[in-house]
Chain A
Amino acid sequence: MQWTWFHKFASPKWFYQITGKILPFLAWLTFFLLVIGLVLGLGYAPADAKQGNSFRIIYIHVPSNFLALAGYFLMAIAGAIGLIWRIKLAFWVMKCAAPIGIVFTLVGLLTGSLWGKPTWGSFWVWDARGTSMLILLFLYVGVYSLGRSFHSANSGEKASAFLAIVGTVNIPIIYKSVDWWFTLHQRATIKFTSAPSMHPDMFYPLLIMIVGFYLLYAVVLMLAVRAEILVRERKTNWVRTLVLK
């Protein structure tokens, strides 16, 4: 088996060039998907029988929570690839994924609490899912700040890659324990009324938004990694000619 493709992918120059070609197309696709999803979701989807119009926040809330969790695994896997095959590009992907993940987790938490106010009567309820997302935010912040507290950027990246992997091992345990804690301290007044199946008119906009958010994540991550490549490879010839051109 030829492994040249693998090493080609690990080259920052190749990554910079190929993403430069993909990005415009991807950015427009993301834009259209998000616009279509938002218009359908906010304007045309029927109002929920119990929650009225406040349910429409799921078109932001659910996709950003998806990406918050998926982004953590992407970050940890990128860190593991960097550690195992010593690929600097993978470390940069990991480094750039941390702040993006923080933003998506924050958006998920904020939209959740905005939805909680009319639905549950308070901005924050210590339920299992909300608490798990809060701890996910803390894990992200740890990886982010550990990577930026070393004098040499390389050792900071290695340390935060290890932390991301340790966090990944812990995520199922944390999630299960929080779940268990919630059932122990459950209040009777709060009920999770989720319909077993959504109406298709509600569901398709959500699906479009989820795909759109995945693409948005990819676009933002590519932009961040491209910027990181330019900074870290600033002494190479190809970056010099590119910038001075």
Chain B
Amino acid sequence: MSMEPIVTVAREKAKVKNAAWSDTGKDHFLSSLEKFRSGMNGQWSGLRRDAASRVRELGFPTSKHEEWKYTNLLPVLTTAFHINTDISDVTAADIRSLLPTGKDTELLVFVNGVFHETLSTLNTGKEVIAGNLAAFHTSENVNRHLSRYAPVSTEPFVALNTAFLSDGAFIYIPEEKRYDRPLHILHLNDGRKMPSMSHPRNLIVAGKGVSANITESYHSLGTHTSFTNVVTEVILSENASLELTRVQTENRLSSHISFTEVRMDRDTQFRTNTITLDGNFVRNNLHIVMDGTNGSAILNGLYIADKNQVIDNHTLVDHASPNCFSKELYKGILDDKAQGVFNGKIFVRQDAQKTNAYQSNKNILLSNDAVINTKPQLEIFADDVKCSHGATAGQLDEEALFYLRSRGIGLEEARVFLNIAFAAEVIRSVSNESLREYLMRIAKMKLRKEI
């Protein structure tokens, strides 16, 4: 079933309201693209060319744009990032320090968007594929799905990613395979030598009845700024079940824009955890289309930010079929001058009767200067539905703080206790135990200002 895109960033409108769009950054990205393209193989040249012309037509949104109004893109658009494809500097030790996985995990490592084969420990059987996209560019599944779903014509950063399309993770699990080992896709942006950008592209295809657990994690190194602009497309066939966790622990010089497009067929279950523990600027777009009946989507998010961090989560759950269930919980802890943005849209189409959709965004503001801009948007066109949403912003409970202190626990540690208790509701929903423990540890470090 094909659907009109819901998030409209239509250029037509923009022509009237020009202030929402600007050409800033376009020239730099397009000239980088020229250089980059000369080193590319022939695959996907059509996709790249079309996307590049879309970038040229669209430009980039300004803070006058409704979907980008709290988010200043200028630092990203005015930095002269390079694409550094020399990844020989990155060692196993670099990766090990970042690696939040257990021993049984299969690992795909990408550095600056380039596949690092020797650091990857994947072990692909005959049927299951977990490798890099470029190596499978002739695969039927890649051709059928790649760039079919992410809105390249309306979303400028999806267009930009597609214009630079070269590699990323490709995971394909055929029909009725239960894939027990967790798969981990690790993206590292290496800013040790120069300001570095990468545009990784991930494609995940789960066949009928498949069950799998996949993690994407994003990291950066070095004292130069870095920019990661990733697109992940996820296809769940009938009866498939997938848990997809995104971990973001890039450093304070990093900007990150992600677009995740998920297509759910009938009787599928999708659970996603988006956990942002570091990074200077992060914008996540999560777009889930429930294309078949009886789907279940659970969206969990956690962001912990301090100093001048900006963490922006835009989610859209598109109930396009009847009898589907979605439940969304995003929690944030913001300190100092950190800014959070939560924009959660639930769209219930006319045919999507018996929809159950719940959304909640809860925030703790630890300082007077911290800000959360939260905006739930429900658009309901069916009449037999149950939908709810809620948003809160508050401080730590003084009574609870006093109680902990009266037992000998110091003020700072008592704060960490209460913050962790708040965050744990989200972290607990990560089913991979070693990953959960890693997240708990990093969250505590973040709350103790050790990172």
Q: Do A and B come from one complex?
A: no
Interface set of A (CB-CB < 8 Å, partner B): none
